[in-house]
Chains A and B, each alone.
Chain A
Amino acid sequence: MMTEPLPPAHELTPSQTVGPFFHFMLTPKAYGVREIFMADLTQEGPGGDRLRIEGRVLDADGAPIPDAMVEIWQADANGAYAHPASPKPAVNGFRGFGRCPTDAHGAFAFDTIMPGIVPTFPSSCHADLFCRPRRPCRRPGSSTGAARPARHAPGSRRCEGPLGVHHPPWRRR
């Protein structure tokens, strides 16, 4: 029997919740599984000003969500993304991607570098929030969550919806 031909219309595969049990694959250090994504992006040896992003993921009652996962994606200090479509090539092996589970208090933290100015576009870090029951929270061009540099005050900001961190205040000064 041959494999059936692909359907003519390529309709999107729907998302489903990441569930509460993702850690042993997606953030698996404690399970002895090889880990490839971390919350410390400075280990990739990039140059630039150090940046720490801290936050908490809370539900509508303000209760911590202890089984969420946050991902960030950003340019290097020169405003280059480690991706072929980036107008400038990224240097020094900086991949610009980080992943962090929330802890019992709903808290997460990333150590990274200040992203540089990206040609034509505002410079920023972008974040996806994954949390039971949610699929990836970030939608194109939509956001209600905003992060702020930890140097102001480590703390949290109420996430009243998808956390699509997409604000330009982190321009390189």
Chain B
Amino acid sequence: MTRLIYPLDGLKAHPPSLSPAYTSTVRRAPSKPLILLPHSLTEVTGPVYGHDSVVPSEADLTRQHAGEPLGERIIVTGRVLDEEGRPVPDTLIEVWQANAAGRYIHVKDQHPAPLDANFTGAGRCLTDSDGRYRFVTVKPGAYPWRNHHNAWRPAHIHLSLFGHSFLSRLVTQMYFPGDPLFPFDPIFNSIPDGAARNRLISRFDLSVTEPEWALGYQFDIVLRGRQATPMEEPHDD
């Protein structure tokens, strides 16, 4: 049977389903091998959400309330590319994060750090024709969690992206350079390859930094490409 086969090598960058140090994976990881199924048009199509779905002000997380949030104002920008190095234009990015004190507005986050009435921590933006995105926010604080004794997450921003197709869908986290919590974080370290881990660390960039206003960080994101090869593949399902 002829099937569209997508290169799978790059997927080794992802964390395995089971990372015992990240204790939630133990009961939530698949215990059986994955079953191959035939591909369909899904691999070349995916949700398209463009300019009609984003309000420009949603890219500035510091201007969503009456006053300004506390914390270190930052600009985060970068390009979204595919594995072939092509820019991914007009694709939606959703971001969410804790406030400068490390507290999420989420009802389930009840740890003793203050909420900020001027900060929700949720934003959206769209890449331009060159795949570039940009949002303004405050640097999130580190926060504790209950994975193990004295567990703290390094400061991070959550990101969700769509890309070319349903296959390129990505949910990930962006970290900040030099965080002392990296060696102790089972989520960051669930990525087996050190080089792949480092691709989640943003880069301080003085050229993005705006004088007397905000520090700038660059974070490029590479999504799965469009390369597919029709080939004969044995299957046992």
Contacts and interface: CB of A to CB of B under 8 A. Distances in A.
Contacts of B106: 20-21, 23-24
Interface in B1-40: 3, 5-6, 8, 10-11, 13-15, 17, 19, 22, 24-25, 27-40
Contact of A135 (B14, B30, B167, B208): B14
B207 A13 contact: no
Given A25-B94, A25-B96, A128-B166, A142 B105 contact: no
Interface residues of A, number: 73
Given A23-B106, A73-B42, A162 B223 contact: no
B72 interface: no
Contact of A25 (B25, B29, B122): B122
B45 A83 contact: yes
A21 B96 contact: yes
B84 A10 contact: yes
B128 interface: no
B170 A13 contact: yes
A14 B172 contact: yes
Interface string A134-153: 11101111111000000000
Nearest to A122: B40
A56 to B, nearest CB: 14
Main SS of the interface on chain A? loop
- How many interface residues does chain B have, given as a range? 35 or more
7 contacts: A11-B13, A13-B222, A21-B96, A22-B160, A128-B166, A135-B171, A161-B34
Nearest to A2: B207
Nearest to B26: A60
Contacts of B139: none
Contacts, number: 237
B55 A34 contact: yes
Interface of A: 1-4, 6, 10-26, 28, 31, 33-34, 36, 59-61, 63, 65, 67, 71, 73, 75, 81-87, 95-97, 118, 120-122, 124, 126, 128, 130-136, 138-144, 160-162, 164, 166-167
For A10, A12, A21, A134, the residue with the greatest tally of chain B CB atoms inside 10 Å of its CB is: A12
B60 to A, nearest CB: 14
Interface in B98-142: 104-106, 108-109, 120-124
Contacts of B166: 73, 126, 128, 138
Contact of A143 (B5, B37, B170, B172): B37
Given A10-B222, A12-B83, A24-B120, 5 more contacts: A3-B205, A11-B195, A16-B171, A17-B22, A131-B28
